[in-house]
Amino acid sequence: MDEERFELAGGRSSFALGVRGLCPRCGKGHLFQGFLGLRRECGACGLDFGYADPADGPAFFVMSTVAVPVTIFAGWLELRYEPAFWVHLLTTLPLLVLGSLALLRPFKGWLVCSQFIHKAEEGRPVMRAAP
């Protein structure tokens, strides 16, 4: 079964495909239309991207990845040099914004490819018969 999943992914992992924004089935078409908008379908193989629903996952991973080091840097800068507020605006704010924007698209692509490769579906409650 794992072989089938790798075959569908063009022999590459969901991370390798998603970071590059490539189709998880053929590895040739593009996932994105614009910066973060998903295409309706792959231009190369016709895969419908309607299954994809990364929701807030990319934002969560980006906040977790970027906010911690930037907050540590801001704390170090404040404790070490006690700079004026505008110094934080010129250093910490751009690091936070640029770091978040740089990682948002790769994380979204990775999650969309992972959903396809692992056949993720919406969770459904399982009703068990009473004993």
Rounded average pLDDT per 10-residue block, the chain, 131 residues = 48 88 93 95 93 92 94 96 96 96 96 90 79 72
Q: Tokens 């992992």 appear where?
A: 13
In one-letter notation, the amino acid at residue 7 is E
By the 8 A CB rule, do 40 and 48 touch? yes
Identity at 130, one-letter amino acid code: A
- The pLDDT of residue 9: 59
What pLDDT sits at residue 1? 40
Which DSSP category does 126 fall into? Answer: P
Q: What angle do CA 19, 11, 7 make, to 5 degrees?
A: 120
pLDDT value of residue 118: 85
Q: What is the pLDDT of residue 5?
A: 46
Whole-number pLDDT of residue 10: 60
Alpha helices in 21-121 (DSSP H): 57-81, 85-117
Tokens coding 11: 């022999």
